[in-house]
Amino acid sequence: MCRTAAMMLLTAVFAFLLVGAAEAGEPRQQLRNLAETPAKERNPVAADRVWPEKVGQADICLWKDDKLAAFCITIDDNTKPDHAWWSAQAKKYGFRFTWFVVTGKLNKNNPRSFGGTWKDFQALAANGHDVQSHSVTHRNKKINLPVEDDYTGAIADINRNIKTHPCLTLAYPGGGLPNDPKVAARHYAGARGGTGLLNLPSPNYMATHSIGNPKAALTKPGEKGSWASIRPMGEDPKSKYYRAWYCMHFHGVAWNDKLKAELAPALIKLLDYVKQREDKIWVGLFREIILYGQERDTAKLSVTKIDPKAITFLLTDRMADNWFNFPLTVKVRVPNDWTHLAAAQAGKPIQAKLIEHEKNKYALIQAVPDQGEVVLTPARPAAGRSRPKTRRRSSD
């Protein structure tokens, strides 16, 4: 074969391989978010918890730890006078909250200001809470900052001052100037609007809903405000909101007597309700739920090995790896004679635990998409490594 013909053949083969790689490598698309994505591109949502029948079969759980539904609380506009109240509830219930911060309202010289200081938010972040973007100016007409600058400036401010987590999400502010979801989609993994509805498990992640009325949260079917009730997502399998995501937003709750009398009692009742149902409701941060949902919606799971001593699988997704690195919960049916469990991804130990359901054993594995092969073995973790949590029995 002449050199020219050989080069043409190699070029053709290389082009073929590139096309094949593009098709086979679809999960490596590195998407920033799922905004108005057609339903056909989403993974189907199971009507209820899935329990694989055969050893080695696996399933990606709809929500973290195989919870039925998800719940989060977000707090807008900095609201420094309420920090102590929210921190007390966090300590009481063991919950974490998301503060959507207007970075231009942070006051460096007056720690008593309504906007607070970076030190205030650094303290919240150190206790596990989240600090995310509500823009630089709250879309203030008088300041008239271009929308892209308003969005990206807040990201830079937060990432410069908060080192515990990245700024990846936005709450659209209502300060007068228009918001622009298309611009937001260039810079954020997800965004929260103000439409007072529950979120279906697989929404438009750049236009998620949020409810601000805790009085309606526990209403029953037929009662006034039942459209905003949390009950269907964990209590009514016939509801379209069963297994949904309930997001709430607040501005002030307890920083004056009127607010405290009006909102705090209803909110405490709601927190009690959620706490009593933590076996069914994942209480996460807004950012965590945004990441988990989009990873899950684009994920592919492939079991590569099944034998009595090891089960291995690969987990991939189509989201950008530098943003979307929150673990998905994968449920794997394991042999009933496994009494211990160790899990590793790319050779590094990851969180895992054994559970039982109808006398069969399952592993719940916390694995990050696109981070390598996951190996499960019926062994105790090596000394110094994370041990699986205590085995629990599932009644669902």
State which of 262, 290, 318 marks the end of a domain.
Answer: 290
Alpha-carbon Rg for the chain, nearest whole angstrom, is 23
24 in a structural domain: no
Q: Are residue 102 and residue 187 in the same domain, yes or no?
A: yes
Q: Which of 202, 199, 211 is nearest to 241 (CA)?
A: 199
In a domain, 12, yes or no: no
In a domain, 187, yes or no: yes
Same domain, 74 and 93: yes
Select from 290, 322, 347 the last residue of a domain.
290
Query: 3-state class of 87 per DSSP?
Result: helix
Query: Are 107 and 228 found together in one domain?
Result: yes
In a domain, 72, yes or no: yes
Residue 23: what pLDDT?
39
Domain of residue 83: give its range: 67-290
Please report the DSSP string for 21-49 in residue order: HHHHTGGG--BS--SS--GGGSPPPPSS-
CA 244 to chain centre: 13
Residues 133 and 60 in one domain: no
CA distances to 46, 233, 393 from 50, in Å = 7, 17, 15
d(CA 59, CA 46): 10
Q: What is the per-residue pLDDT for 38?
A: 59
Percent of the chain with pLDDT over 70: 87
Same domain? For 55 and 71 the reply is no
Task: Please give the Cα distance from 60 to 201 (Å, whole number).
Answer: 14
Residues 189 and 201 in one domain: yes
pLDDT, the chain, mean: 89
Say whether both 244 and 312 belong to one domain.
Answer: no
Whether residue 79 contacts residue 252, with contact meaning beta carbons closer than 8 Å, is answered with yes
Q: Is residue 358 part of a domain?
A: yes
CATH classification of the domain holding 99 = 3.20.20.370
Q: Find the CATH number of the domain harbouring 41.
A: 2.60.40
Q: Is residue 20 within 8 Å of 177, Cβ to Cβ?
A: no
207/147 same-domain check: yes
C-alpha span between 118 and 371 (Å, rounded): 34
Distance CA 60, CA 12 (A): 38
Residue 23, Cβ density class (10 Å: 0-12 exposed, 13-18 middle, ≥19 buried): exposed
pLDDT in tens, 74-87: 999 999 999 999 99
pTM, rounded to two decimals: 0.89
Indicate the burial class of 48 (C-beta count within 10 angstroms; 0-12, 13-18, 19 or more).
Answer: exposed
- Quote the CA–CA distance of 56 and 313 in Å, as a whole number: 9
What local confidence, expressed as pLDDT, does residue 28 receive? 73
Would residue 60 count as lying in a domain? yes
Q: What's the pLDDT score for residue 391?
A: 44
238-275: pLDDT as tens digits: 999 999 999 999 999 999 999 899 999 999 999 999 99
Mean pLDDT of 174-187: 96
Q: Each residue of 290-314: pLDDT tens digit?
A: 999 999 999 999 999 999 999 999 9
